[in-house]
């Protein structure tokens, strides 16, 4: 187990710079998720940590030792690939024991370690099979087993669940998290799926265009996004954002949205009369009920999911998503009153996107 630190890390492919001076620390035993839209540089960063890509600038350290010039095999890391990258000509046991075989480990020790990992992952009945004879989830577990057998300082996961179907993905998510709780090995996990990031991470690093947007625990990012990008990336369905102008009177404050609609502000909200803002509210902080400050909205689509109902409504010209518990009596085309929890709203600078405090 070990801590990992990135210092001013840069990466260029020819003249194109894809990582712009990234620096952060991962504590010993922490489960860190790198998340961002495709092309944000998260996989590249992971591959630099793995030693599969050269580091163009800055330093990466594992357990206090700078690894820039150290080969992958000497970094004491194990990686699980999106395609699993199992050796097709080797049995499950040989796949899992391959790293020990390369280190010329005692065959008895290899067998014991493989057996132990297989037990953890419920792979014991499959040890003599070949990868082609396994299901997707089993292959995924073999790839994890290969990593466990190594007993490395750091586990690296590169979008490991992307090739699985939705149901299996949820199951494997829990398995990986349980595995981490059991082994407590420092883990760096890359995904583009914010739900995976939220459910699995101790800490999330949100990236965009080769830069870090925000680092924090899942709930910190959800409750206190640093900017519009994080606010809209984290959380599903995404946060509703309308731009408008703050209006204040002696006993009331609201935002006049550009497309129409009078969006209430809480008593603690900053910003003087006439300030331009981006007004953000999560779908779950909206409700359908009549009230003094409710906003009339026209229902466009009703999507019942069972316990909750997702409504797509139109306020002025802005389309807003609302998630309500239960089954509201709403028909497409009807007008419903929308209530906002004014203390749950987020205000952002409309040009820089930064959170206004």
Distance CA 26, CA 203 (A): 9
By CB under 8 A, how many residues form the interface with another protein?
22
CB of 155 or CB of 222, closer to another protein = 155
CB of 105 or CB of 195, closer to another protein = 105
Question: Contact 242/259 with Cβ under 8 angstroms?
Answer: yes
CB of 101 or CB of 184, closer to another protein = 101
Which range binds another protein by CB under 8 A, 94-102, 128-136, 242-250, 323-331?
94-102
Closest approach, Cβ 83 to another protein, in A, equals 5
Shortest CA distance to 330 belongs to which of 300, 308, 294? 300
Binding another protein (rule: CB under 8 A), the pick from 37, 54, 66, 89 is: 89
Closest approach, Cβ 87 to another protein, in A, equals 6
CB of 24 or CB of 130, closer to another protein = 130
Binding another protein (rule: CB under 8 A), the pick from 15, 16, 69, 88 is: 88
Q: Does 162 bind another protein (CB under 8 A)?
A: no
Site pattern 28..67 for another protein (x: CB under 8 A): ----------------------xxx---------------
Site pattern 249..278 for another protein (x: CB under 8 A): ------------------------------
Beta bridge partners of 38: none
Alpha helices, DSSP H, located in the chain:
42-50, 92-102, 107-120, 136-150, 166-183, 194-200, 218-223, 228-233
The two beta strands, 240-248 and 276-281, are antiparallel
Site pattern 119..158 for another protein (x: CB under 8 A): ---------------------------x---x--------
Shortest CA distance to 69 belongs to which of 54, 89, 57, 85? 54
* Rounded (10°) angle between helices 136-150 and 166-183: 20
CB of 85 or CB of 238, closer to another protein = 85
CB of 71 or CB of 251, closer to another protein = 71
- Tokens for 65? 């030792």
The two beta strands, 211-216 and 203-208, are antiparallel
Phi-psi region of 12 (alpha: psi -120 to 50; beta: other; left: phi over 0): beta
Shortest CA distance to 322 belongs to which of 280, 278, 284, 281? 284
Shortest CA distance to 209 belongs to which of 13, 357, 91, 41? 41
Q: Does 105 bind another protein (CB under 8 A)?
A: no
Q: Does 73 bind another protein (CB under 8 A)?
A: yes
Distance CA 313, CA 336 (A): 9
Residues that bind another protein (CB under 8 A): 50-52, 71-73, 77-79, 81-83, 85, 87-89, 98-99, 102-103, 146, 150
């Amino acid at each position: 187990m070990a801590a990992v630190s990135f210092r001013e890390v840069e990466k260029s492919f020819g003249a194109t710079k894809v990582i712009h001076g990234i620096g952060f620390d991962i504590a010993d035993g922490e489960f860190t998720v790198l998340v961002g839209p495709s092309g944000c540089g998260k996989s590249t960063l992971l591959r630099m940590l793995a030693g599969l890509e050269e580091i163009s600038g800055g330093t990466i350290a594992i357990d206090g030792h700078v690894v820039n010039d150290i080969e992958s095999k000497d970094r004491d890391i194990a990686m699980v690939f999106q395609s699993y990258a199992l050796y097709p000509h080797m049995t499950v046991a040989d796949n899992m024991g391959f790293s020990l075989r390369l280190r010329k480990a005692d065959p008895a020790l290899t067998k014991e370690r493989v057996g132990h990992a297989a037990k953890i992952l419920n792979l014991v009945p499959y040890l003599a099979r070949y990868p082609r004879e396994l299901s997707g989830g089993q292959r995924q577990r073999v790839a994890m087993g290969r990593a466990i057998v190594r007993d490395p300082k750091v586990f690296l996961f590169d979008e490991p669940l992307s090739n699985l179907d939705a149901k299996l993905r949820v199951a494997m998510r829990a398995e990986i998290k349980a595995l981490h709780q059991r082994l407590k090995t420092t883990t760096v996990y890359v995904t583009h799926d914010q739900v995976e990031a939220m459910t699995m991470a101790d800490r999330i690093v949100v990236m965009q265009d080769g830069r870090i947007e925000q680092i924090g625990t899942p709930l910190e990012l959800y409750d206190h996004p640093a900017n519009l990008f994080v606010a809209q990336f984290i959380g599903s369905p995404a946060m509703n954002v309308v731009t408008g102008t703050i209006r204040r009177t002696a006993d009331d404050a609201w935002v006049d949205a550009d497309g129409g609609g009078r969006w209430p502000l809480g008593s603690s909200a900053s910003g003087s009369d006439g300030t331009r803002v981006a007004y953000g509210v999560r779908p779950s902080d909206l409700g359908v009920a009549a009230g003094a400050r409710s906003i009339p909205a026209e229902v466009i689509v009703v999507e019942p999911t069972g316990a909750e109902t997702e409504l797509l409504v139109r306020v002025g010209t802005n389309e807003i998503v609302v998630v309500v518990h239960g089954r509201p009596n709403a028909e497409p085309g009807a007008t419903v009153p929308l209530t906002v929890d004014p203390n749950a709203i987020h205000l952002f600078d409309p040009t820089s996107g930064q959170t206004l405090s």
